[in-house]
Chain A
Amino acid sequence: MRLVPFRPMSARSEVPAAFRNAAGNPGPVTLVRDGIADIRSRRRLVRYLVQADAHKRGADTLLGNIWWVLDPLLQMLVYVVFISIIVPRPQPDYPLFIFSAILPWKWFSASVTDATVSIVSHDQLIKQIQFPKIVLPVAATTAGIVSFAFGTVALGLLMLFFSDRITLWLLFIPVIAVVQFVFTLACSFLVAAGNVFFRDLGNVVGHLLRLWWFLSPGLYSLASLDDISFFKDHRVLTTFANANPFAILFEAYRSVIYGTATSPPSGPPNMQLLAILLVASTVFLAFTTMVFKRLEPNFAKVI
């Protein structure tokens, strides 16, 4: 086989001399490697897309910033009022207890929701320019980090009211966030590619997310499930509840932010579970990258 001669251009485009044909389905390893190469070579495009997203949501204006900080706090307020009505004696320091779950969940749900439409909303561009489509869900997920960062400002404000719970373990939040990011990215690839072929996926995703939130120990603690008789009778449900990635994540965030109900100062999270989740998420991410890259050539036709 003779290589296609390649002459570098003054204005370098990353789509070089090419030979395209109908045959040839690259293997899983190639697909994943291509996906990683796509993202690496288009880092700047991801950055611009994230900046554009932040700009559109008004994160670069003072008033916009205030809203981004207020938003999770207001959501927390709604839940505190709601839960205080239906549950006579909630957890001590309940606002902080649920805020440690609201903060990561808002990031996850916003990222997945945005990723769902990330491909189809760029339909015009996809039909006009050849570029790696994988950057779009990556940008949607990365843009969520901005709101997460503002959420930590809100957390800082909230911690002032619960100063006896402040410890150095708060600095561990970014480590948990990395695990969450890997898992979120994997989910984003799946829904972004799926929505191209099934346009009503957004409806399903919205409801699934809501269900997932209430099934995850955000408003309640994982331990409190043991008090429910239905769970006592069906131990398999408890196993499922413990295997939920967001059970692991929420409990980890909660132990570094809130601690436990009985001992106020926070402590280390369950490192073993976090490590397992990180490995599992990485495998999941490799799988969804492969699915995405396999479906990618069809996007321009279907969209």
Chain B
Amino acid sequence: MPLLRRPPKLGLVRDMGYAIGATDLGVRYDLRFTKKTTIRSSIGQMLGRGEVQQFWALRHLALHVRRGESLAVIGPNGAGKSTLLQVLAGIIRPSEGAVEVFGHVSGLLTLGAGFDKELTGRDNILLGGAFLGLDDAVTHELLPAIIDYAELGDFIDAPLRTYSSGMRARLGFAIATSVDPDILLLDEVLATGDANFREKSKARVIQIVSAAKAVVLVTHDMNWVTEYCNRAILIERGELIMEGEPADVVELHRAHTEEARARTVEEAQKAGLDPRIVRGR
């Protein structure tokens, strides 16, 4: 056991109602490998050409989520929101700091990708269950409910490639939320499907939250944040900017977005350009 090399334990106790705790979280990307690398380019690097660049997608981030809480993660594109969810889901191991998760995590971070386009919806549910690590009997038990919830009808026995993107997203959402997770991670999923399904998925998320289970949600839908989340955090450039009441955080995010827009316009004007003019042929 690498006891000695562990950073100090977070000291969260489940009885206190914590679902997630993170201290000094940092995720570093080695840009050497994130570009599509080839053997040829690596040999070039080994010979000393090109320097190794590192990129901190997240740094010095601390957060905690209590059970029954619904935490919204907002911020501009590329702020590190999805990376945060990936760390919480255990997909990425943090380069710095630690995460403690009490309970079972479930979440399709970007829904609609499906599992295998050539297989039928039914086979995809079984395969999805196997990927999520569910018991075979459990998956078979959940099968009718998932099919019913995803509103796929006879399409369930057609290959996934024949599905519309909405159908795929519905199936993904149904699989992800069927697991009855302690902690649900959602990334931009509330905007999928028609108005009818949006209502349904909202109802499902509220149901999970109310069942004393935590939800961490990445979204650009500010109405959802203020309406349904207990708490929100704002992340910019990989750092935690603000944590607090959803309305306050959304307000700050709006202000920052406005500022950023104004800055772009100002810079463009300084350069003698009207931002409305797009150059091109």
Contacts and interface: CB of A to CB of B under 8 A. Distances in A.
Interface residues on B, range: 35 or more
Contacts of A4: 14, 100, 102
A174 interface: no
B92 A301 contact: yes
B122 to A, nearest CB: 12
A10 B180 contact: yes
Interface stretch (B133-141, B224-232, B238-246, B252-260): B133-141
B179 interface: yes
A12 B39 contact: no
A237 B89 CA distance: 52
A229 interface: no
B273 interface: no
Which of B96, B103, B138 has the most chain A CB atoms closer than 10 A to its own CB?
B103
B181 A302 contact: no
Contact of B90 (A1, A11, A15): A15
B2 A13 contact: no
A297 interface: yes
Contacts of A40: none
Contacts of B42: 198
Interface in A74-104: none
Interface stretch (B104-112, B194-202, B215-223, B261-269): B104-112
A10 B178 CA distance: 11
Contacts of A10: 138, 180
Interface string B72-101: 000000000000001101111111111111
B113 interface: yes
Contacts of B106: 13
B107 to A, nearest CB: 8
B99 A20 contact: yes
A200 B38 contact: yes
Interface residues of A, number: 50
B56 interface: no
Contact of A298 (B33, B40, B107): B33
A131 B34 CA distance: 21
A204 B102 contact: no
A201 B39 contact: yes
B192 to A, nearest CB: 15
A113 B89 CA distance: 31
Given A129-B108, A204-B39, A12 B103 contact: no
A130 B90 contact: yes
Nearest to A46: B130
B98 A22 contact: yes
A42 B90 contact: no
A36 interface: no
A195 to B, nearest CB: 10
Contact of B2 (A9, A18, A23, A197): A23
A212 B251 CA distance: 65
B121 interface: no
B133 A42 contact: yes
B130 A11 contact: no
B158 interface: no
A198 B110 CA distance: 26
B37 A17 contact: no
Given A21-B98, A24-B6, A125-B113, A13 B132 contact: yes
6 nearest A-B residue pairs (beta carbon): A14-B133, A21-B98, A24-B2, A45-B130, A23-B5, A130-B90
15 contacts: A5-B102, A7-B103, A9-B182, A11-B134, A13-B179, A18-B100, A19-B99, A20-B93, A21-B6, A48-B127, A126-B91, A128-B107, A130-B90, A297-B93, A300-B92
Interface of B: 1-3, 5-7, 14, 26-27, 29-30, 33-34, 36-40, 42, 86-87, 89-110, 113, 115-116, 118-119, 123, 126-127, 130-136, 138, 142, 178-182
